[in-house]
Structure 1
Amino acid sequence: MIMPTFKKELSLFARLWLGLGRLIGRIFLFLIVVSLIGWAVATAWFAWQHRGPVSALEQIPPGEAAMTQDVIQTAVRIVDQHRESTRYLRDAHAKAHGCVKAEVQVLPELAQSLRQGVFSEPGKTWQALIRLSNGNAYPQFDSIRDARGMAIKLLDVRGQPLLSDRQGQNEQDFVMFSHPNFFVSDVAEYRQNVAAQADGKKIMAFFPGWNPRTWEIRHLLIALATLAPPPESPTRTTYFSVSPYKFGEANAKFRVMPDPDNCPAYTLPPRNHDLPNFLRSALSQQLSTDRVPACFVLQIQRQDANKYMPIEDTSIEWREQDSAFETVARITLPPQDFDTPALNLQCDNLSFNPWFGIEAHRPIGGINRLRKAVYEAVSDYRHSQNAAQ
């Protein structure tokens, strides 16, 4: 009598488990279906909200000047927070992998419509300085997920500078980093985001209140995507201007991509990613030790105002299917010795600003208007504090 009873109980137990399994499977399938519907609705809503045409002119919202002053105060607070014992650092991109000399050659066969500003003379070669960096406001190990930056300064550029106090500097800067769009849309959002981050509330910067309508989940995902694993070398990364510039009469964004086919073949020896400065080491290995140049292409993406390619929202990536990138110049980093105390100090004292340039490449849009004020204020503060030490 014991065995039949045991078998009966076992059979009942099995049926219960099978029933529970079917229930869990149905719940799981239901959640998948709901998720797919939610994704489809969200995608459709985003596409409906973000469709062309857009304005080709800047649109300055009320109160932007006051918000800019708030950002300046927060940026100076960040500089104070992250200062080292002997120097004040930048409020972003504090750690450089090096400042290197470069040659930027305008394409000899450049189309007439692309001959604008510093690209107006086909075949011309500009001498330049390029700073390669990590994005964080405090120097950290290169292995930590981060954005990577490239700032280009063309030298001996003639023309009326955008800023009256830059007379005689004869420069054109392009400031870029390693993601095509930014994690904030405009100055208002940047103000609340950077203030939260300065208070140590990095994730909460995207959740400013209890109201879900104020949550910036899409922008959080952009920020997380921006914090990418390190490349093998700063010369193996693609960099984007993120915000738009004037390009003659048009509006455009810039991109710099590696162009190994126009340089001698080179295989970088394996890097030890546990070393804190392995990206500087990789750059030095190629340019200084192995004496092999690195090559890039400089490209522009012109705005098509009939597509959703807004000027005032830097969180929106301008899609290549709406407007293709066009190569306007080639960049070469020749073999050189750049990692010396004197050159590193010179690199630390260099300032890069998208407003250091000429009218043909005027930065436009809210984030660029913010940069004009913040870069100048933070640079002046940093240099004054470093000179006083």
Structure 2
Amino acid sequence: MIKKLWLSFGRLLGKLLLVLLFIALAGWAIGAAYYAWKFSGPVSSEEQIPPEEPALTQSIIEDAIRVVEQHRDNTRVLRDAHAKAHGCVKAQVTVSADIDNALRHGVFSEPGKTWQAWVRLSNGNAYPQFDRARDARGMAIKLLDVPALKLTQSARHATEQDFVMFNHPTFFVRDVAEYKSNFAAQAEGKKILAFLPSWDPRSWEIRHLIIALKTLSPAPESPVLTTYNSIAPFKLGPLNIKYRVIPTPENCPRYELAEQNRDLPNFLRNSLYQQLSLDRMPACFALQVQRQNAAHYMPIEDPSVEWEESISDYQTVADIRLPGQDFDSREQNLFCDNLSFNPWHSLPEHRPIGGINRLRKAVYEAVSAYRLDRNSQGASD
């Protein structure tokens, strides 16, 4: 009797699992068909600015300042994102000798030109945490002694050209309006409500939740062994492009990093220190650009959509070299902490475009000014 009941229960459970599998496959097929339809070209090659964007931006600035105050390190105000640096190192950025003529704009206009630079490598979280925690990883590049008028009016950044990237090709919000609701929920510690704000399924952002979960990836063995993306688009002269940086160890002397102890809180800094400072071995990257093809779904205003590499491949415009060096000193770490990286520290030929970049301009400038002002007050007390 019991055996028959178990067999009947097993058959029922098997049928239920088949039904659930069918529903899941049907949902996946419907979703794939929907997004194939929704994400089809052509798209605009010009920016489209919603009228409510300035008011939303001001509200986001207030939330961002609230976040930096929440994550204050004793008396020091940290960045609202990418608070923990693995190192701030000197670099050389050399324009490719054979760069495509169509890409010779701004800092890439002179083939073979070498720019001196600072490169900051970081974790993405607004609060310093163990490196083994799942997180985004960032790379910020600051070219130095770049002549000509910049998009920012600050004399402090008059000779700088910045590139800001992190290690995922897409962002988990589509525009400033969604960023506002998402960031406000996260600032209040309600992370799940950032993507599921109500019981109404029409308000759910499942695709963006998946992007966010993918962004929170396990740490690489070293911050010089991962790819970094601009996510949002930029101008390159008349072109609309996105940037990425890829490791190119083949362009450096052969080097094999010793296995790292991932239980150490700062093992990514340790790996960088091991390679650059102890072993005096350089790290190499390529800076690349991907052009927008507006005949396909490669939008400017939605950074949650990856531009298909099969439609428009990446082209190398410069090589980046981090030479062997000492960098982990108190003075250099403090100098690095006071550096401000902003994609709007830029020549007009590299102007950031799209809603998230417009938001960055306002938020980065406001938070940087607030942070530097509060830290300088603390230093004088």
- Of 91, 94, 99, the residue aligned with 2:80 is 91
Structure 2 partner of 1:23: 12
- Of 343, 360, 363, the residue aligned with 1:354 is 343
The question of whether the paired residues in 1 share the 8 Å contact of 2:152 and 2:158 is answered with no
Structure 1 partner of 2:232: 243
Structure 1 partner of 2:331: 342
2:77 match: secondary structure: coil
Gaps of 5+ in 1: 1-11
| Equivalent runs, 1:104-143 vs 2, <5 Å | 104-143=93-132
Q: Is residue 27 of structure 2 the alignment partner of residue 44 of structure 1?
A: no
Deviations 1:58-116 (A, max 9, x none): 00011100000000000000011000113100000000011000011111111211211
Q: Which amino acid aligns with 2:30?
A: V
The question of whether the paired residues in 2 share the 8 Å contact of 1:153 and 1:174 is answered with yes
Larger Rg: 1
Structure 2 partner of 1:381: 370
- Structure 1 Cα separation of the partners of residues 142 and 373 of structure 2: 22
1:50 is displaced (CA, Å) by: 1.0
1:20 is displaced (CA, Å) by: 2.1
Structure 1 partner of 2:69: 80
Structure 1 partner of 2:283: 294
Q: How many residues align?
A: 378
Structure 1 partner of 2:181: 192
- Of 264, 267, 272, the residue aligned with 1:278 is 267
2:194 match: secondary structure: helix
2:14 match: secondary structure: helix
Deviations 1:175-219 (A, max 9, x none): 000100000000000011111111010111111222111111111
- Structure 2 Cα separation of the partners of residues 166 and 213 of structure 1: 47
Structure 2 partner of 1:182: 171
1:117 is displaced (CA, Å) by: 1.2
Q: TM-score with structure 2 length normalisation?
A: 0.98
Q: Is residue 186 of structure 2 the alignment partner of residue 203 of structure 1?
A: no
1:24 match: secondary structure: helix
2:224 match: secondary structure: helix
2:218 match: secondary structure: coil
Q: Which amino acid aligns with 2:241?
A: A
The question of whether the paired residues in 2 share the 8 Å contact of 1:260 and 1:295 is answered with yes
1:17 is displaced (CA, Å) by: 2.2
RMSD, aligned CA: 1.0
1:34 is displaced (CA, Å) by: 1.4
The question of whether the paired residues in 2 share the 8 Å contact of 1:239 and 1:257 is answered with yes
Structure 2 partner of 1:317: 306
Deviations 1:226-263 (A, max 9, x none): 00000000000100000000011010000000000000
| Equivalent runs, 1:143-222 vs 2, <5 Å | 143-166=132-155, 169-222=158-211
- Structure 2 Cα separation of the partners of residues 304 and 262 of structure 1: 30
| Equivalent runs, 1:262-273 vs 2, <5 Å | 262-273=251-262
- Structure 2 Cα separation of the partners of residues 82 and 22 of structure 1: 54
Q: Is residue 92 of structure 2 the alignment partner of residue 103 of structure 1?
A: yes
Q: TM-score with structure 1 length normalisation?
A: 0.96
1:376 is displaced (CA, Å) by: 0.3
2:289 match: secondary structure: strand
The question of whether the paired residues in 2 share the 8 Å contact of 1:166 and 1:356 is answered with no
Structure 2 partner of 1:259: 248
Structure 2 partner of 1:4: none
Q: Which amino acid aligns with 1:15?
A: K
1:246 match: secondary structure: strand
- Return closer, same or farther for 1:334/1:142 CA change in 2, 3 Å cut-off: same
- Return closer, same or farther for 1:196/1:168 CA change in 2, 3 Å cut-off: closer
1:18 is displaced (CA, Å) by: 2.0
Identity between Structure 1 and Structure 2 (%) = 63
The question of whether the paired residues in 1 share the 8 Å contact of 2:157 and 2:345 is answered with no
2:307 match: secondary structure: coil
Q: Which amino acid aligns with 2:126?
A: A
Q: Which amino acid aligns with 1:374?
A: V
1:21 is displaced (CA, Å) by: 1.5
- Structure 2 Cα separation of the partners of residues 333 and 369 of structure 1: 30
- Return closer, same or farther for 1:168/1:70 CA change in 2, 3 Å cut-off: closer
Structure 2 partner of 1:372: 361
Q: Which amino acid aligns with 1:157?
A: V
1:168 is displaced (CA, Å) by: 6.6
The question of whether the paired residues in 2 share the 8 Å contact of 1:161 and 1:167 is answered with no
